Structure 1
Amino acid sequence: MSEANECLFCKIIAGEIPSNTVYEDDSTIAFSDIHPKAKVHVLIVPKKHYANVAELAEQDSHELSHMVGIAKSIADKEFHGAYRLIFNTGEDAGQSVFHVHAHVLTGEVMAE
């Protein structure tokens, strides 16, 4: 079985696992994090499987830029455009699902 077939986010993209989808287009999906770290905590995930943000930047910089645009749109809607955008890359940096995803944290004033 391939890595993508076992991937949690690939299963969400395929509709095998339910999610609270807040945005979707042909290349990208965004859904609420099940363990939010802020009032609004959304994961933005490309539908094509990339292991991490470095791999995505190398192979599809347009998709990476598109994800940043989606983050801005979510923050514009949820909290006057202010947001934190986080990519964890590697297990030692806190990445637990090895399908690149951006964490959008917004909806409230955040400390450093």
Structure 2
Amino acid sequence: MTNDFYCDEVLNGKTQVEKVYETENVLAYYHTRPFYQVHIVAIPKKHIPSLTTIEDHELLLELMGVVQKVPSKIEEEHGACRVITNLGAYQDSKHLHWHIVYGKKV
């Protein structure tokens, strides 16, 4: 097993998720173990190790479009949110992903 929860579990259907937004190449869903009151993850459906390794600029634009739309809705509903991505040792799962979060840690 690789260190890629998103390919190994989510995209293979082993872990069921509640979808928030989906395009042909991108999936945003509620985190399976949320750290915040609202915790959404946005991922490319294709394996990309991290933000610094992506070479498919069309996919990056599609992903960023989702990372713009989902937080817009959270900001509209709650007045604020954070958008976070991690790199290197901070990145537990080696698959590019964005956390869209609001509220206090749970």
Distance, in Å, in 2 between the alignment partners of 1:9 and 1:22 is: 16
Distance, in Å, in 2 between the alignment partners of 1:65 and 1:86 is: 17
Mark the runs of 5 or more structure 1 residues left unpaired by the alignment: none
Counterpart among 29, 32, 57 of residue 30 in structure 2: 32
- TM-score by length of structure 2 reads 0.78
Residue-pair matches, total = 101
Say whether residues 1:14 and 2:48 are aligned partners. Answer: no
- Higher fraction of strand: 2
Distance, in Å, in 2 between the alignment partners of 1:60 and 1:82 is: 30
* Offset at residue 49 of structure 1 (A): 0.3
Q: Which has the higher contact order (CA 8 A, sep 6+)?
A: 2
**Identity fraction in percent:** 28
Q: State the match for 1:100 in structure 2.
A: 96
Helix, strand or coil for the counterpart of 1:75? Answer: helix
Counterpart among 33, 47, 57 of residue 49 in structure 1: 47
Q: C-alpha root-mean-square deviation of aligned residues, in Å?
A: 2.2
- TM-score by length of structure 1 reads 0.74
Q: State the match for 2:81 in structure 1.
A: 83
8 Å CA contact 1:13, 1:29 repeated in 2: no
Say whether residues 1:70 and 2:66 are aligned partners. Answer: yes
* Offset at residue 69 of structure 1 (A): 1.8
- Higher fraction of helix: 1
